[in-house]
Amino acid sequence: MNAPRLADVLGDADVIHDRAALEAAIDTMADAIHDDYADDERPPLFVTIMHGGMPFAAQLAFALGERGLDVEFDYLHATRYRGNISGSGLAWLHRPATPMTGRRVLLVDDILDEGHTLKAVGRWCEDQGAAEVRVAVLAVKVHDRCVDGVCANYVGVEVPDRYVFGYGMDFHEQGRNLPAIYALAE
């Protein structure tokens, strides 16, 4: 079965947050993150959760650099969606190579929906000896289905309990590079 085309849904989709709003939210997050890490002797390990976290992580990293906060980069690729619009079991496609023992780790992702992926990733980082694991997400979906104990330390914006895409989030692996967050028409 062929995936629906982004062009077929984009015209009816609702813009939830435009680029200016997202960039302002990222700047606010960068201020808070800088304040929390500025006095550390060692840069935090900045771990981008691929693919969705990449656009947001790049923007956030530049904003942190503008504030004088250095970070050490790594990434991981763990997904529950695999191109679908509903999640299933977690698949690890790449784990970070940087040792985490004694490190402050900042996980950077596009969205906190229910939290299954972030819970598993956070536990894995702790199992690797991370001294602390914090989470920065561009968006949090507003609903009451979150996994217990999973929350983000730094949040850009809230989005409604609808299927959202753009700014890293995909619609059948399409639209990640859209410069806004959209929601499918209801």
Kindly list the catalytic residues: 113
User: How far is 81 from 58, CA to CA, in rounded Å?
Assistant: 22
Within 10 angstroms of residue 151's Cβ, the number of other Cβ atoms is 14
User: How far is 63 from 69, CA to CA, in rounded Å?
Assistant: 9
- 72-109: buried (b, 16+ CB within 10 Å) or exposed (e) per residue? eebbbebbbbeeeeeeeeeeeeeebeeebeebbbbbbb
